[in-house]
Chains A and B, each alone.
Chain A
Amino acid sequence: MTSPLLEVKDLHTEFRTKDGRVRAVNSVSFKLEHGEAVGFVGESGSGKSVTALSILRLFGPFTDAHIRGQVLYEGRDLLNLGAKEMRGIRGREIGMVFQDPLTSLNPLMPVGQQVAECIQLHESVGKEVANRRAVELLELVGIPDPKNRCEDLPHSFSGGMRQRIMIAIAVASKPRLLIADEPTTALDVTVQAQILLLLNDLQRELGMALIMISHDFGVIAATCDRVNVMYAGRIVEHAFTEELFRSANHPYTEGLLKLVPSLEQQKGEQLVPITGQPPDAFELLPGCSFAPRCPHVAQICRETQPQSNVLSPSHGSACWLSAERGGSV
C-alpha cells in the first residue's frame, strides 16, 4: 500500500489565554487513506474542531495557538510549511465546510461569482471559463436552475442551498481531502439528509477523502467508514463505524451511544445519562480524563493515563479496562 494521504502524529494544540492555558488537543494521532471517510465524534469542547483547524493551521492572528506534533500530508509536514506554501494547501488540496454557511459567504457578491473567484484563485483560467465552471459546480451540488441563480445573492437562498454553495466552493479545486465541521447542524433534518447524501456522492465521484466532524453518531454512520471518538482532547476510541456500533469498548463511547434517544429504542425507557460535567480544559488530570464520570473507574484510572489498547487491527480503545470489557455492548 502507498503512504496514507494524511497522517497526524502526536498532535497537541493549546491556547494561551489570560485565564491560563487551554489544552484543547492532547496527543492526537490518526491516519487517513486516499478516498477514505473518517468521522470525529464527541461533545462540544472535546477537541474535534480544533483538531481539524490545527491540520490547516486555521487560527486567527489574535488566537495564541500553539500546535505541536506532525501533520503529514502526502509525507510533507504541514506544520513546517511557510505561510505561502500553506495557502497553496488550504482550499486547493484540502477544502473545508463549516457549520454556518451564512458567515462564510460574502453577502454582497453573487454566489456564482464567489464560486468563480475560488476557481481563479487556484487555477489560471479566464473569467469566462471560471464562470462556466461555477455554473457546472452549482449544478453538481444540486442548485436548481444554476444558470440564473448564480446571479443571486446569498440571502435569497435557504440554509440548505447556502450549504450546497459552500460545498461547491470547497470542492471547486477538486481537493483530495474535504474537512466538514458540523456541516448539517444548523439545518433541518430533512435538509440534513439531502446534504449528507450530497457529501457522500461527491466524495465518491471526486475520489476525495473526507473528515466529518459531528456530535451525532447518526451523521457519522451515514457518511463515514471509520470513526474516532474524542473526549477531553484525546481520541479515546477508534474503529470501523459498524464495528463501533456493534462492539463499543470505551465507557464514554458506550455512554454516548446509550444516552441519545433513538427511534429504535423502547419508549418510556429511561435514558442513561453520563453523570457529571465534561472536563475543564484548563486542568489536565493525571489519569484518564473520563475517570471522574466513569461508572467502571478503578484506582489506576485516576493515576495513569491509559494508552490505546489494540482490540483488533482496526479497533483501539484508550481504557485500562478495555481488555476485560472486550466488545461488551
Chain B
Amino acid sequence: MDFPTTEGRSIRAVDRVSIQLEPGETLGVVGESGCGKSTLARAVLQLIRPTSGSVQLRGEELTLLKGRELRNLRQKMQMVFQDPRGCLDPRMTVGTLLMEPLKVHGLDDASNRKRRAHEMLERIGLDSRFMSRRPSDMSGGQQQRVAIGRALITNPELVICDEPVSALDVSIQAQVINLLVELQKDLGVSLLFIAHDLAVVRHISHRVAVMYLGRVVEEGTTDQLFAEPRHPYTQGLIASIPQADSGARQQLREAERLAAGDLPSLLDPPSGCPYHTRCAYVEETCRTQVPQLREVGTGIQKVACDRWDQI
C-alpha cells in the first residue's frame, strides 16, 4: 500500500503483508503508531484500494469490485472505529442508528427492522429505553456499544475493530472487551482486532500478528507468541508494558535494551531488516538483507528474523 506525499515521494505504509482469517476467529494486529495496522484494515475493507495485492472474502476477489457490488459486500464486512462520536450522527436516535445499516442495504421491512434493532440493543447490553436516546445523552462506552451494534446488525462475516477501546476509560474498556468476546462467541463472526495495547489484544485474540514499519514481523497463536516471543521487536514490545508489580523498573530496563531509540521515518525506511536500527542483536547482514517471514518450530509461528534461533 503506497501513499503519495506532497514532496512527490511515496510512503509505503503496508509492505507485502499476508494474513488469513478463519471463520469465527479473532486475529489481533498489534504494533506502534505508523506500523500500518490501520492502513491494513482499510485496505481489507476496500475503503482505500491497495497499490497491489489481493484481498479475498470467501474466495471472492474484492480489489476488482466496484460500485453496487462493493456496497453489497459491505454488509458482510463491517468496521468499528476508535471514536464512536465520530461515526454516530448526533441528530439520530439510537433506534434509527441501529436500523440505518439495514435500511441502507435494503434488508427487511420497517417492522422487522425495528424488531432487529430491539434485539441488537439487548445483545449490546442496553435496555429498551435507549431506543429513543441520542448519542449526546450517552457515555463513551454506551456510544461504542451502539457502534458495535450497528456493525453487527447486518450479520456480517467479518468485523474489523480499529482501536475500539483506546478512547475509553479503563473501567469501561473492560465492559466493552467482554461484550466483544461474548458477541463473537454467540454470533460466530470473525474479528480483525487492531490495537496498540498488547494486553487487550492478548485477551481477545486467538492469533496475533505483530507489525513494524509496514511489515508483519511475527505471527502465531496468542499463547505461543506471548509465551515465547521470537522476534526482538515482539520481545521489546512485551517488556515495554509496565506491570503493576515491584519488578516494573527492572523490566523497563530490559525493554530499553531490546527496543532502543525511536521509530525510523517511513519516508526514509531503513535498508535490510526494518528493525535493525533499534535491535539489540543487530549484525552486519541485518543491515542489507530483508528477512522473510518464516515458519519456526511447529510451523504455526512465523518470524521475520534471520537470527531468531541465535538470540
Most buried by B among A197, A200, A256, A260: A260
Of all chain B residues, the one with the shortest Cβ separation from A218 is B242
- A273 at the binding interface (Cβ < 8 Å): yes
Provided the pairs A221-B242, A257-B244 are in contact, do residues A193 and B259 lie with their beta carbons within 8 angstroms?
yes
Provided the pairs A197-B252, A256-B171 are in contact, do residues A219 and B245 lie with their beta carbons within 8 angstroms?
no
- Are A263 and B178 in touch, CB under 8 angstroms? no
User: Which residues of A have CB within 8 Å of B178?
Assistant: 270-271, 273
Of all chain A residues, the one with the shortest Cβ separation from B142 is A277
Question: CA A267 – CA B181 in complex, angstroms?
Answer: 12
- B256 at the binding interface (Cβ < 8 Å): yes
Of all chain B residues, the one with the shortest Cβ separation from A271 is B174
- A259 at the binding interface (Cβ < 8 Å): yes
Of all chain A residues, the one with the shortest Cβ separation from B252 is A193
- Are A263 and B240 in touch, CB under 8 angstroms? no
Among A245, A264, A274, the residue within 8 A (CB) of B171 is A274
Encoded as 1 (CB less than 8 Å from any B CB) or 0, chain A from 215 to 236 comes to 1111111110000000000000
Encoded as 1 (CB less than 8 Å from any B CB) or 0, chain A from 147 to 164 comes to 000000000001011000
Provided the pairs A192-B240, A193-B259 are in contact, do residues A267 and B246 lie with their beta carbons within 8 angstroms?
no
Encoded as 1 (CB less than 8 Å from any A CB) or 0, chain B from 212 to 248 comes to 0000000000110010000000001111111111101
- Are A263 and B243 in touch, CB under 8 angstroms? yes
User: Which residues of B have CB within 8 Å of A261?
Assistant: 174, 177, 199-200, 202-203
- A43 at the binding interface (Cβ < 8 Å): yes
Question: CA A168 – CA B42 in complex, angstroms?
Answer: 39
Provided the pairs A158-B263, A219-B242, A221-B246 are in contact, do residues A273 and B33 lie with their beta carbons within 8 angstroms?
no
- B249 at the binding interface (Cβ < 8 Å): yes
**Interface residues in A243-293 (C-beta closer than 8 Å to B):** 245, 255-257, 259-265, 267, 270-274, 277-278
CB distance from A272 to the nearest CB of B (A): 7
Provided the pairs A190-B237, A216-B242, A274-B171 are in contact, do residues A260 and B222 lie with their beta carbons within 8 angstroms?
no
**Interface residues in B128-171 (C-beta closer than 8 Å to A):** 139, 141, 169-171
- A189 at the binding interface (Cβ < 8 Å): yes
- B302 at the binding interface (Cβ < 8 Å): no
Most buried by B among A197, A215, A218: A218
User: Which residues of A have CB within 8 Å of B198?
Assistant: 189, 263
The binding surface of chain B is classed by DSSP as helix
Among A158, A189, A223, the residue within 8 A (CB) of B241 is A189
- Are B240 and A259 in touch, CB under 8 angstroms? no
User: Which residues of B have CB within 8 Å of A257?
Assistant: 244
User: Which residues of B have CB within 8 Å of A307?
Assistant: none
User: Which residues of A have CB within 8 Å of B243?
Assistant: 218, 221, 262-264
- Are A267 and B252 in touch, CB under 8 angstroms? no
**Interface residues in B, total, Cβ within 8 A:** 45
Provided the pairs A189-B196, A260-B170 are in contact, do residues A196 and B252 lie with their beta carbons within 8 angstroms?
yes
Provided the pairs A259-B174, A263-B199 are in contact, do residues A190 and B242 lie with their beta carbons within 8 angstroms?
no
CB distance from A36 to the nearest CB of B (A): 16
- A3 at the binding interface (Cβ < 8 Å): no
Question: CA A265 – CA B243 in complex, angstroms?
Answer: 11
- A188 at the binding interface (Cβ < 8 Å): yes
User: Which residues of B have CB within 8 Å of A189?
Assistant: 32, 196, 198, 237, 240-241
- Are B256 and A197 in touch, CB under 8 angstroms? yes
Among B170, B203, B262, the residue within 8 A (CB) of A160 is B262
User: Which residues of A have CB within 8 Å of B172?
Assistant: 273
Question: CA A165 – CA B40 in complex, angstroms?
Answer: 33
Encoded as 1 (CB less than 8 Å from any B CB) or 0, chain A from 27 to 65 comes to 000000000000000011000000000000000000000
- A194 at the binding interface (Cβ < 8 Å): yes
Of all chain A residues, the one with the shortest Cβ separation from B198 is A263
CB distance from A186 to the nearest CB of B (A): 10
User: Which residues of B have CB within 8 Å of A303?
Assistant: none
- Are B240 and A215 in touch, CB under 8 angstroms? no
Question: CA A271 – CA B197 in complex, angstroms?
Answer: 15
- Are B32 and A267 in touch, CB under 8 angstroms? no
Question: CA A155 – CA B94 in complex, angstroms?
Answer: 41
- Are B177 and A255 in touch, CB under 8 angstroms? no
Question: CA A263 – CA B201 in complex, angstroms?
Answer: 10
User: Which residues of B have CB within 8 Å of A223?
Assistant: 249
- B255 at the binding interface (Cβ < 8 Å): yes
CB distance from A156 to the nearest CB of B (A): 10
Q: List the 10 shortest-distance A-B pairs measured between CB atoms, nearest first.
A: A218-B242, A188-B32, A273-B174, A217-B244, A222-B248, A221-B248, A190-B259, A271-B174, A259-B174, A193-B255
Question: Chain B residues in contact with chain A, CB under 8 A?
Answer: 32-33, 139, 141, 169-175, 177-178, 181, 196, 198-200, 202-203, 222-223, 226, 236-246, 248-249, 251-253, 255-256, 259, 262-263, 278
A242-B246, A273-B171 known; 8 new pairs, CB 8 Å cut-off, are: A44-B169, A193-B240, A221-B244, A261-B177, A261-B200, A270-B181, A271-B203, A274-B174
